[in-house]
Structure 1
Amino acid sequence: MTTISQTAGRSLGPSSSSGFFSTLATAVYALFERLERRSAVKTLNELDDRALRDIGITRSQIEDAVYGQFKAELTRYL
Protein backbone atom coordinates (compact mmCIF):
# COMPACT_ATOMS: atom_id res chain seq x y z
CA MET A 1 0.00 0.00 0.00
CA THR A 2 1.30 3.43 -0.95
CA THR A 3 0.79 6.43 1.33
CA ILE A 4 0.93 10.01 0.14
CA SER A 5 2.02 12.72 2.49
CA GLN A 6 -0.36 15.61 2.99
CA THR A 7 2.49 18.06 2.45
CA ALA A 8 3.16 16.78 -1.05
CA GLY A 9 0.58 19.10 -2.61
CA ARG A 10 1.57 22.21 -0.68
CA SER A 11 3.49 25.01 -2.28
CA LEU A 12 6.87 25.99 -0.89
CA GLY A 13 6.20 29.66 -1.67
CA PRO A 14 5.74 32.36 0.93
CA SER A 15 2.86 32.07 3.31
CA SER A 16 0.01 34.54 3.41
CA SER A 17 1.50 36.16 6.52
CA SER A 18 4.61 37.17 4.58
CA GLY A 19 2.37 39.02 2.11
CA PHE A 20 0.80 40.86 5.01
CA PHE A 21 4.18 41.83 6.44
CA SER A 22 5.39 42.95 3.03
CA THR A 23 2.34 45.19 2.66
CA LEU A 24 2.79 46.49 6.20
CA ALA A 25 6.47 47.28 5.56
CA THR A 26 5.53 49.14 2.37
CA ALA A 27 2.94 51.19 4.25
CA VAL A 28 5.36 52.03 7.07
CA TYR A 29 8.02 53.05 4.54
CA ALA A 30 5.51 55.30 2.74
CA LEU A 31 4.50 56.89 6.05
CA PHE A 32 8.11 57.66 7.01
CA GLU A 33 8.79 58.99 3.51
CA ARG A 34 5.80 61.35 3.81
CA LEU A 35 6.85 62.55 7.27
CA GLU A 36 10.39 63.19 6.05
CA ARG A 37 9.17 65.24 3.08
CA ARG A 38 6.79 67.25 5.27
CA SER A 39 9.71 68.01 7.55
CA ALA A 40 11.80 69.15 4.59
CA VAL A 41 9.00 71.47 3.40
CA LYS A 42 8.69 72.92 6.89
CA THR A 43 12.45 73.48 7.16
CA LEU A 44 12.63 75.18 3.76
CA ASN A 45 9.65 77.39 4.61
CA GLU A 46 11.57 78.61 7.67
CA LEU A 47 14.42 79.91 5.48
CA ASP A 48 14.44 83.51 4.30
CA ASP A 49 14.15 84.40 0.62
CA ARG A 50 17.87 85.05 0.26
CA ALA A 51 18.78 81.58 1.54
CA LEU A 52 16.24 80.01 -0.81
CA ARG A 53 17.67 81.99 -3.72
CA ASP A 54 21.15 80.71 -2.78
CA ILE A 55 20.00 77.11 -3.24
CA GLY A 56 18.23 77.98 -6.46
CA ILE A 57 14.53 77.97 -5.61
CA THR A 58 11.84 80.48 -4.77
CA ARG A 59 9.27 80.16 -2.01
CA SER A 60 6.60 79.06 -4.50
CA GLN A 61 8.83 76.19 -5.70
CA ILE A 62 9.51 74.59 -2.30
CA GLU A 63 6.95 71.78 -2.52
CA ASP A 64 7.82 71.00 -6.13
CA ALA A 65 11.50 70.78 -5.19
CA VAL A 66 10.85 68.49 -2.22
CA TYR A 67 8.45 66.19 -4.06
CA GLY A 68 10.73 65.84 -7.09
CA GLN A 69 8.68 67.72 -9.66
CA PHE A 70 11.33 70.42 -9.86
CA LYS A 71 14.23 68.01 -10.41
CA ALA A 72 14.64 68.56 -14.15
CA GLU A 73 14.84 72.29 -13.58
CA LEU A 74 17.52 71.90 -10.88
CA THR A 75 19.72 69.53 -12.89
CA ARG A 76 20.04 72.13 -15.61
CA TYR A 77 22.31 74.13 -13.30
CA LEU A 78 24.51 71.22 -12.21
Structure 2
Amino acid sequence: MTTISQTAGRSLRPSSSGGFFGALAHGVTALFDRLERRSAVKTLSELDDRALRDIGITRSQIEDAVYGQFKAELTRYL
Protein backbone atom coordinates (compact mmCIF):
# COMPACT_ATOMS: atom_id res chain seq x y z
CA MET A 1 0.00 0.00 0.00
CA THR A 2 1.26 3.51 -0.88
CA THR A 3 1.24 6.27 1.76
CA ILE A 4 1.04 9.92 0.75
CA SER A 5 2.35 12.48 3.16
CA GLN A 6 0.07 15.42 3.86
CA THR A 7 3.06 17.73 4.12
CA ALA A 8 4.26 17.04 0.61
CA GLY A 9 4.64 20.24 -1.38
CA ARG A 10 4.58 22.53 1.65
CA SER A 11 7.62 24.45 2.72
CA LEU A 12 8.69 23.99 6.31
CA ARG A 13 10.08 27.51 6.60
CA PRO A 14 7.72 30.36 7.46
CA SER A 15 6.56 32.57 4.64
CA SER A 16 8.24 35.95 4.30
CA SER A 17 4.96 37.75 3.65
CA GLY A 18 3.36 37.05 6.99
CA GLY A 19 3.61 35.04 10.10
CA PHE A 20 4.41 36.10 13.61
CA PHE A 21 7.28 38.46 12.80
CA GLY A 22 5.34 40.13 10.00
CA ALA A 23 2.44 40.76 12.36
CA LEU A 24 4.82 41.98 15.05
CA ALA A 25 6.52 44.39 12.64
CA HIS A 26 3.14 45.67 11.48
CA GLY A 27 2.01 46.19 15.07
CA VAL A 28 5.18 48.07 16.01
CA THR A 29 4.89 50.28 12.92
CA ALA A 30 1.24 51.02 13.71
CA LEU A 31 2.16 51.88 17.30
CA PHE A 32 4.87 54.33 16.24
CA ASP A 33 2.54 55.91 13.67
CA ARG A 34 -0.12 56.37 16.35
CA LEU A 35 2.35 57.92 18.79
CA GLU A 36 3.68 60.27 16.13
CA ARG A 37 0.19 61.43 15.19
CA ARG A 38 -0.78 61.94 18.84
CA SER A 39 2.33 64.09 19.24
CA ALA A 40 1.38 66.13 16.17
CA VAL A 41 -2.15 66.69 17.51
CA LYS A 42 -0.72 67.81 20.85
CA THR A 43 1.75 70.18 19.19
CA LEU A 44 -0.91 71.74 16.97
CA SER A 45 -3.32 72.05 19.90
CA GLU A 46 -0.73 74.13 21.74
CA LEU A 47 -0.63 76.71 18.92
CA ASP A 48 -2.77 79.82 19.14
CA ASP A 49 -5.62 80.45 16.71
CA ARG A 50 -3.59 82.90 14.64
CA ALA A 51 -0.80 80.37 14.04
CA LEU A 52 -3.35 77.73 13.08
CA ARG A 53 -4.99 80.15 10.67
CA ASP A 54 -1.56 80.83 9.12
CA ILE A 55 -1.18 77.14 8.25
CA GLY A 56 -4.73 76.97 6.95
CA ILE A 57 -6.67 75.07 9.62
CA THR A 58 -8.94 75.87 12.52
CA ARG A 59 -8.80 74.30 15.95
CA SER A 60 -11.69 71.98 15.12
CA GLN A 61 -9.82 70.65 12.07
CA ILE A 62 -6.59 69.63 13.84
CA GLU A 63 -7.34 65.91 14.15
CA ASP A 64 -8.72 65.69 10.62
CA ALA A 65 -5.59 67.38 9.27
CA VAL A 66 -3.25 65.08 11.20
CA TYR A 67 -5.09 61.88 10.32
CA GLY A 68 -5.36 62.79 6.63
CA GLN A 69 -9.09 63.36 6.37
CA PHE A 70 -8.57 67.05 5.63
CA LYS A 71 -6.07 66.54 2.81
CA ALA A 72 -8.52 67.06 -0.07
CA GLU A 73 -9.51 70.50 1.18
CA LEU A 74 -5.91 71.55 1.79
CA THR A 75 -4.75 70.60 -1.70
CA ARG A 76 -7.43 72.82 -3.20
CA TYR A 77 -5.60 75.88 -1.91
CA LEU A 78 -2.10 74.83 -3.02
TM category, shorter? 0.7 to 0.9
Q: Distance in 2 between matches of 1:68 and 1:14?
A: 39
Query: Where does the alignment leave 5 or more consecutive residues of structure 2 unmatched?
Result: 1-6
The aligned residue for residue 71 of structure 1 is 71
With the length of structure 2 as denominator, give the TM-score of the two structures. 0.81
Runs of 4+ in 1 over 3 A off after TM superposition: none
The aligned residue for residue 56 of structure 2 is 56
Q: Specify whether residues 41 and 11 from structure 1 end up closer, same or farther in structure 2 by C-alpha distance, changes over 3 A only.
A: same
The aligned residue for residue 37 of structure 1 is 37
With the length of structure 1 as denominator, give the TM-score of the two structures. 0.81
Query: Where does the alignment leave 5 or more consecutive residues of structure 1 unmatched?
Result: 1-7
CA shift, 1:15, in A, is 1.2
Q: Distance in 2 between matches of 1:40 and 1:60?
A: 14
Q: 1 or 2, which has the higher helix percentage?
A: 1
The count of residues paired between Structure 1 and Structure 2 equals 71
CA-based RMSD = 2.1
Alpha-carbon deviations, 1:21-78, whole Å to 9, x = none?
0000000000000000000000000000000000000000000000000000000011
SS at match of 2:11: coil
